Structure 1
Amino acid sequence: MRFLRSWCALIGVLAVPVGMAAHTSLAPATARQTLPAASPAWSAAWMTALQQPNANQNWSKQGFANQSVRQVIRLSAGGSDVRIRISNQYGVRPLELTGATVATAAKGATVVPRSVRPVRFGGADSVTIPAGGQAAGDAVTLPGLTSGTRLAITLYFAHPTGPATFHEFGATGASYRATGDQLTNGGAAYRETSGGWYFLAGVDVNPTSTVVAFGDSITNGYTAAPGTRYPDLLAARLAAAGRPTPVLNAGLGGNRLLTDSACYGERGLARFHRDVLDEPGTTTAIVLIGINDLGYPEIAPTTCTTPNPRITPAQLISGYRVLIRDAHARGIRIVGVTLTPFRGASVYTARSAQLRTAVNAWITTSGEFDAVADFATALADPADPTRLAPKYDSGDHLHPNEAGYRVMADAVDLKTL
């Protein structure tokens, strides 16, 4: 089990469009399936890949009741206005959100004094979101929003939510919990913490082009300090080149392209629409996924990795072709990324190594992606290309360290974005 937890830390359904009903009173709003026709254009400046509740050490199974949850996120772009998106994607009943605020984050759960702003939904203080639905808050004006700004988003649930739609292994932020309505509390009330994000799907700013990095825990940034995941570092490169562009992180720890997991989310084929194509402003997707598809069959099956079918290169390639087709149907460019070395990890066998070689050969030579980023070569040990170079190895022989994430960001040709 110890190995499984580290491996999982290693490494559907179609989303409904975000929407709100128009309201003029302060009665609770009810989320609908489409945005109002007069809604202004938005682009995502932060998002996370959502998953169903699980039995790990987090707050997803029990949900919340008469509790406030403060969640700290880091914007990838700024703007004059901001809005939040709340998801009940995996809920089994309507979600009653009693109130919400947004503020500039300070240290821990504290917020910058006088920065707290209420969030309304179609003019109402509260909103009810049906099972499987999402709701977008009204625009909030908050001065000083730039790339790298840390926001504290606080949600208050007066009534039991049931199990929570969430994201596990949040590497660049934290969630804090307090009893009662603590929407405007400066931070002292928040004495419990969790590494995940709960019900929070995205944060949008004024319209711009957006890049989405799609993948598993390597994209999600396992071992990475805040701001040092490869998508964060790629966004910094773009800004330094005079092309400030949000790079969103749609990584999900333990995720597979072809197979669902009770612990690590729906297969990539199912969540690609919600996490990439439906994100406001997406123009380019960067895809790094498949190592778990190759690796899980090489370990003893568990409840988290079952079903655990052995796959062929042709099956994985067929999955990539679905992503390419669907991206192109939306006019979105898609960049393929070679699967990174993992010799020395427990999932490494002669079979998984051969599969990686075959899949990488197709990624680099087929010409079916619009462009290719060769992370495998960038991270490889020159003395043994099946291994991560020691200077880029976090220690588990699968996940890069901070220097490795930086090399990954540098391996992306900015012209392809």
Structure 2
Amino acid sequence: MDKLAVIQKQSTNTTMNNNRMQSGSPAFRQANLALFAAGFVTFITLYDVQPLLPEFARVFDIPPALASLPLSAATLTLAAAMLIAGTISETLGRRPVMIFSLVMTSLLALCSAFSHSLVSLVTLRFVQGIVLAGLPPVAMAYLSEEIEPATIGTAMGLYIAGNAIGGMSGRIFTATITDFFSWQIALGLVGILCLGLSLYFAYSLPPSTHFRRRPFETRYLFTSLYQQLLDPTLRCLYAISFMVMGSFVTLFNYITFRLTGAEFGLTQTLVSFIFLSYLFGAGCSSLTGKMVNRIGRGATLRVGLAVMAAGLSMTLTGVLLLVIVGIAVFTCGFFVTHTAASTWVGRQAKTAKAQASSLYLFFYYLGASVSGTAGGFCWTHMGWPGVACLIGLLLLTAGAITLLLTKQTAGCEPAALRPGGPINPLSPR
């Protein structure tokens, strides 16, 4: 009887896997295109205001710290809401939560075009961050449930590509339109585009066939989150994510003020092209897996932080070319550090991996909100050297935590992840 039960279970698992979307099938293509559009919408609406911060400061006659609030408000509420978004989708369903998230964030983006005060704009962005949280963790859960395991890497890659392209193109698009027309028209066009893509997503995303509804368990959610914070390694990684993302957003928030100011006098359109440095960062991110396998996780984090520090130092010069190269170098270091840290979180968490990742993203976006606004006070009172000092302090703190983390985990890395150890054939290439 035991053998028969095992055979029946294996047969059931095989049937379930065969029912999943496979590479080349129409459903697989539809899901990939739909989730590419979803990733595009998520990050174009989140970051489309970043190159407009100098414009907000000018139009509303406010200091840079207040001008950063439209971005900081969205990342702050996104950070908090992501802690429970995945659990809510367990009860309401993946597809309905994602559709609601995309349609609502698109409508809010459209409404922001009619904002005539900082208060109304920040309020809309505050709510937008909450509804945006219904996409990133839920999309990953949908892919893991509906896509055949052998091809899930392809699907996840396309979704992440949508994230990157949306974030980068949104910044360039809004800056360019603002140069020729106004920031309201730029945000309005983003809202219209995203609403169209959201309706396409709702129409084309295949229904969930492997989703199993579960009751909302508040006690389990908070207990599992608390358990992750008891792990000293995870606590260090969460602190590093706060420092690193905080420094990254701070640099891009206020380098735009410097480049459009009297020192260089560039237009919004020209400044927006600094975000093309993300392409270099994405390339470095793809090489991080090899670096981790050769020199270890802790050493990879130290290398990434050192590269960020080197790029930051280059931005202190008064030579435009060196400043731009410094931004690109800084971006590469960030992607290496972020990739190594986020991967380490997934491997370190023994249980409730989703909650471990949610906490990482919580501290990640919390750093963006807190430091992203604090940098404005540094810019107002000390200019770019003050901003660079804040970023340098964040990187120095992250470096100290990395050294502590390396001591805590000395000898605990698998052979394939120790310096000189064999290359892991399953690592990203």
Scaled by the length of structure 2, the TM-score of the pair is: 0.23
User: Larger Rg: 1 or 2?
Assistant: 2
More helix by share: 2
